[in-house]
Chains A and B, each alone.
Chain A
Amino acid sequence: MQHGKYRFIAGFLLIPLAVYGVFVISPFVQAIYYSFTNWSGLSSKFEVTGLRNYRRLWNDELFWKALGHNLLLLVLLPLVTLGLGLFFASMLNVGGRRRRNAPVAGVRGSSVYKIVYFFPQVLSIAIVALLFKFAYNPNSGALNSFLDAVGLPWRPEWLGDPDLALWCVMAVMVWSNVGFYVVLFSAGMSAIPKDFYEAALLDGASRFQTFFRITLPLLWDTVQTGWVYMGIMALDGFAVVQIMMDGPGPDYSTELLTYYLYTKAFNDGQAGYATALGVALLIVTLLFAGVVMKLGRRERLEF
């Protein structure tokens, strides 16, 4: 039975592997190669310049600033999004009053909420970003009009304020992603057998305890996957910044690695340097993946 098994599998995988090689691996290799050149991106002529791009990178204030913003997003974005996602999902599934015949239930109207939460996911990120751009308009946008209506004297400049701009961007990313995780976690929670909760409740466990002792551990793998995906969002963030800020924001307050890379490749004609930035981003991404996988490793609970 074992004989020829691998050859058999490889035969099936040949085409996908070839596609993967051509469209994923080879661009990687090419990009790493270009990062050692002074390629402009506008002509096929270039020279190999060795480590020059990387030395420049090391001394580039803007690179470090952009990296800092990305890392801030990387820490906060998954934390906030998944935290909210978990909170909402548990309210929808196990947060409600106890009803007869059911040890746990969601708050009233939870099925409606589930749909409402999912709405932002249906909108394309371009539309979401544009909508928020209008909402953030400090002169006639929804947010400041609201502040006006409730009589608060505070009139922030939102996207025009370097201290607020990045938070505004982050809020949009959270808003547009939370719904997906609510649905994902809800699905995960509904797979948890209800008798676990029943037993815990009989033992007198509080809501708080059931969440941290039962729900979260049994959902851990899903959370981890979500964490990785939100991490990718945080390291990207290009679309939101591009549409809402049309640039690096006031005083470079929303400069992200991806946007900086884009500027270098498409505005300044320095594609070689841009690919070096891309390689730096790749390294950060790999480190992140490694850390998440390492930290997240736990004994799997079978149920």
Chain B
Amino acid sequence: MSTDPSAQPLLHATAGAATGSPGPSGRDAGASIWRVAVRRLRRNPGAILGGVIVLVFVLVALLAPVLAAYGPEALPGRAEIRPTYIPGPSSEYPLGLDRYGGDLLSKLIWGARASLLIGVLSTLLGLLGGALLGLVAGAFGGWVDSATMRLVDLMLSVPSLLLAVSIAAVIGQSSTAVIIAIGVVQVPIFARLLRGTMLAQRGQDYVLAARSLGLSRRTVTMSHVLPNSLGPVIVQATLMLATAVIEAAALSFLGLGGGSPTTPEWGRMLTAAQNELEVAARLALLPGACIAVTALGFTLFGEALREALDPKTRKR
């Protein structure tokens, strides 16, 4: 190799055109696909709406002790509840009271915290478990792949809610059980997704090039195949968060969430409100709206993220 390459008459008359097509705009220079994705998200109204909803939800959940006027289990309006009458919105209780005399607004705020905790923890559980299975299947292939995928098929063949109910039944009624149940249900979804994208990436030329460089199989898998397969998995995780919030509500609705009737949790509040639909419909409508809006927020954000990360639409 020459020590002073610039001295070589390497540039042909036309080599100046090596920079051929017009370069990308200056802002793009050196931006990773994640930074490009963030900029694309900012231009997408759906993404902004979803992002704002998610942000508000997370802030409310984190700041619940500050925002809520009363504690999670407090029943400040206990004395005002009558069997046929539940006080509506007032200056003291902006959204009125619930059946047990709790402040509905405070309960909803604390409920966000419970939902976020369940959603994030269960999705994390599903993501880690699924990614591990998918990684094993995608990296080793052969009979390991077949065995792992049959296990995953087995998990998929049980209806998700039934599986969650069974797990909750075995572990007992507690929020931990709900988290584990929802997480386990997500495992096969993440496993299949990661394995699929890894298999697709493994056939790519850059992976062959990496193998030709003499990199070990582990290095090729961990530093080329896996990072390039994570995009869809991360998108799926944001979408699964929405599902997890809904499933947590469903499990609480079925009475599997543990805790007492006064524990603030959106799904449980919906269940409890069944009996008071005629007396105070807002007790069902407001938690229901919270679940729907949160799920919508995560879904919008996830879909936008999917679009922003799609390599087919990536700027050249």
Chains A and B form a bound pair: no
Binding site for A on B (CB under 8 A): none
- Residues of chain A touching chain B, judged by Cβ–Cβ distance below 8 Å, are none
